[in-house]
Each structure stands twice: as structure tokens, then as C-alpha cells.
């Protein structure tokens, strides 16, 4: 019985493709998928940190999150439109670390879209981009200060992030800013 590492997963139409490094199973062969928990947990921490940064930077500077890329070691978020400067970073970082220290629970609920559209009026999520066929949404709440529809994976409480450091601010064009960050590694 062999094993291979899944190095990439992609969805095309109704098919989910797993790209393997190593021997390929033969057609109709039954396989067992094993999760790389260390990597998954690192992504969960980074992604939860992204929710915090997006919330804080939206509240303070009105900058919307335009995209993000999560990796186990270092991640980045693009904000646009955004105009905050480097001198804003220490306060942003301090606020994230404040929320980490306070150890707020991260909770998941499923809500009706119509209900949410009322609640999230003028908030940082733009529900108009979601296909109208989606009637219910998975809501991720952090403490009582952030609520965002998201299908991703998250930690149970902000304390698990241990600490966050913003390592770079880069202008990516007119009113587009990329923030790169790292988390305190786990012991």
C-alpha cells in the first residue's frame, strides 16, 4: 500500500482534483485521505488573524479587504481602497494583540441571508457579490465585535493566535495596500 502527498486541490465544475506527489492510485482504487493537522492548524490561526486585521483596519480606516493569501508561516492581506500609512501599523498591531490577549471566543452559526442583509447594513462585507441562489450563510463571530460570513476554518478562540506581528506594508498601486503578518509560533 503506497501513499502520496496532496500538494494542491482545485475545483473545476463539479469535480474536485487532488494533485499528488508520489505514486498515483489506480482507477477505482479506494484511498484514505489523511489531514496534515500541523499545516491545517497553522492555516486556521492565520485565517482567524485575517478576520481580526480586516475588522480593525475597516473600523479604524474604512479600508475594505480586497484579497488575502494564507500560508503556514507568513500571510498577507490586500486592502483597497486604502490610504493608511506605515505610522498606523503599531496601533493596528497593538489592537490585534489586545484582542488576542483578551481571548475572545470564535463562534459559528448559520443565518438566513435576508436577516443578515439587515444586520450588516453598511458593514465591511458586501453581500451583493454573492449569487442570489445562496439563501443561508455561515456566520463567523469573534467576541461581540466581529461578524463575517465565511466558509473557512478558524480556531476556537483568539488566544490561540498567541501574538501577531505586522512585518511589511507595501503599496500595490493607487489606494491598494498589502499588509504582511506573522504569528508567534506555537511551542
H runs (alpha helix) in the chain: 37-61, 89-102, 113-119
| Least separation in angstroms between CB 52 and Zn ion | 11
Stretch that binds Zn ion, among 18-26, 81-89, 145-153, 167-175 (CB under 5 A): 145-153
Of the candidates 72, 88, 152, 162, which one interacts with Zn ion according to CB under 5 A?
152
Q: Cis (ω within 30 of 0) for the bond into 81? A: yes
| Least separation in angstroms between CB 47 and Zn ion | 5
Q: Which CB sits closer to Zn ion, 83 or 143?
A: 143
| Least separation in angstroms between CB 111 and Zn ion | 15
Of the candidates 6, 111, 127, 150, which one interacts with Zn ion according to CB under 5 A?
150
- The dihedral over CA atoms of 158, 63, 78, 57, expressed in degrees to the nearest 10, equals -30
Give CA separation, 56 vs 31, 42, 63, in Å.
Answer: 43, 21, 9
Q: Which CB sits closer to Zn ion, 152 or 159?
A: 152
Beta bridge partners of 170: 178
- Number of residues lying near Zn ion (CB under 5 A): 2
Stretch 48-77 residues interacting with Zn ion (CB under 5 A): none
Q: Which of 106, 159, 115 is nearest to 135 (CA)?
A: 115
Q: Which CB sits closer to Zn ion, 88 or 127?
A: 127
| Least separation in angstroms between CB 151 and Zn ion | 7
CA distance 139 to 151: 8
Q: Which residues, at least 6 apart from 76, have a Cβ–Cβ distance to it below 8 Å?
A: 68, 69, 168, 178, 179, 180, 181
Stretch that binds Zn ion, among 14-22, 28-36, 95-103, 148-156 (CB under 5 A): 148-156
Query: Footprint of Zn ion on this chain (CB under 5 A)?
Result: 150, 152
Amino acid at each position: 500500500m503506497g501513499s502520496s502527498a496532496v500538494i494542491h486541490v482545485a475545483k473545476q465544475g463539479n469535480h474536485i482534483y487532488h494533485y499528488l506527489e508520489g505514486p498515483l492510485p489506480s482507477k477505482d482504487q479506494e484511498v484514505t485521505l489523511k489531514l496534515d493537522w500541523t499545516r491545517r492548524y497553522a492555516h486556521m490561526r492565520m485565517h482567524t488573524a485575517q478576520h481580526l486585521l480586516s475588522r480593525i483596519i475597516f473600523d479604524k480606516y474604512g479600508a475594505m479587504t480586497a484579497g488575502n493569501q494564507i500560508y503556514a508561516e507568513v500571510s498577507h492581506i490586500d486592502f483597497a481602497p486604502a490610504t493608511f500609512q506605515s505610522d498606523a501599523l503599531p496601533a493596528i498591531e497593538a489592537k490585534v494583540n489586545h484582542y488576542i490577549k483578551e481571548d475572545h471566543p470564535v463562534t459559528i452559526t448559520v443565518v438566513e441571508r435576508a436577516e443578515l442583509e439587515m444586520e450588516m447594513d453598511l458593514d465591511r462585507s458586501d453581500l451583493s457579490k454573492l449569487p442570489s441562489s445562496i439563501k443561508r450563510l455561515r456566520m463567523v463571530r469573534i467576541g461581540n465585535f466581529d461578524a463575517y460570513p465565511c466558509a473557512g476554518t478558524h480556531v476556537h478562540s483568539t488566544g490561540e493566535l498567541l501574538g501577531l506581528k505586522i512585518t511589511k506594508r507595501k503599496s500595490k498601486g493607487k489606494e491598494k495596500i498589502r499588509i504582511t503578518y506573522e504569528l508567534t509560533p506555537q511551542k
